[in-house]
């Protein structure tokens, strides 16, 4: 699948998911863009570890609270996507 086609599928999926989320619709435009960009990054990382099981991508986050939230989310889906544990989450200041 070409990268542009993949990006379109990811974008379409995120948009369809977020449009049905009531809390998302209550946010202002800058918050919506921030949430959208985070989800896009996460889905791209998940795609990488699914397609390339020997890849260990790194996700850089701004604080330890974000790291804990993301690692907990990964833990919730690791029984479905075992290679999600290949994604390393690191805090940078």
Vertex 62: Cα angle to 60 and 66 (nearest 5):
90
- pLDDT of 69 over the 70 cut: yes
Domain boundaries, given as residue ranges, for the chain: 3-91
Spatial separation of the C-alpha atoms in residues 51 and 86, rounded to whole Å: 12
For residue 28, the model assigns a pLDDT of 93
pTM of this prediction?
0.79
**pLDDT bracket for residue 92 (50, 70, 90):** very high
- 11-58 per-position pLDDT tens digit: 888 989 898 988 998 999 999 998 999 899 999 899 899 999 898 999
Residues 80-92: what's their mean pLDDT? Answer: 94
């Amino acid at each position: 699948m070409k990268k542009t086609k993949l990006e379109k599928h990811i974008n379409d999926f995120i948009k369809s998911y977020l449009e049905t989320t009531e809390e998302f619709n209550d946010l202002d435009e800058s918050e919506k863009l921030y949430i959208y960009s985070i989800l896009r990054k996460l889905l791209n990382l998940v795609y990488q570890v699914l397609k390339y099981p020997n890849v260990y991508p790194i996700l850089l986050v701004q604080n330890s609270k974000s790291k804990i939230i993301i690692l907990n989310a990964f833990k919730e889906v690791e029984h479905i996507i075992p290679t999600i544990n290949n994604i390393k989450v690191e805090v940078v200041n």
